[in-house]
Amino acid sequence: MKETEKIIHDFTERLKQTEEYKLYVKKRSRVQEYPGLREEINEFRRRNYMLQKSEGELFDEIDAFEREYEEFRANPVVEEYLQAELAVCRMMQEIYAEIAEAVDLDLWQVQT
């Protein structure tokens, strides 16, 4: 195993021991107990992503989206899962930012 592969393996194993990840796995398992719920969550995520990716004035679209999914998000299984997922995503963002800051590649010096 290459040195970087070992470092990555060790690091990911440690990440799996964090409270954020353990909670996410627990909430993900709970979602799996409900047939079709995973697909509904994926559709919610897909539509949310497309809305966020859109350009222009989106106040009305966002408002309509939130109203449409209000009852869905009121489901504790859904909401707890999405919150746990968000916590893991934020943790990953922090990790990426720390790595980018720590590894000086002088990318800002590149000129075309």
The pTM (predicted TM-score) of the whole model is 0.83
Give tens-digit pLDDT for 72-106: 999 999 999 999 999 999 999 999 999 988 887 77
Give tens-digit pLDDT for 1-35: 699 999 999 999 999 999 999 999 999 999 999 99
Residue among 101, 72, 94 at smallest CA distance from 20: 94
- How high is the pLDDT of residue 89? 97
- How high is the pLDDT of residue 52? 87
- How high is the pLDDT of residue 85? 97
CB atoms within 10 A of CB 41: 20
- How high is the pLDDT of residue 112? 57
Residues 6+ apart with CB under 8 A from 26: 84
Give tens-digit pLDDT for 32-48: 999 999 999 999 999 99
Residue among 83, 75, 94, 79 at smallest CA distance from 23: 83
> HSE-up of 57 (CA within 13 Å, CB side)?
1
CB atoms within 10 A of CB 78: 21
Written as six digits, the tokens of 80 are: 């707890």
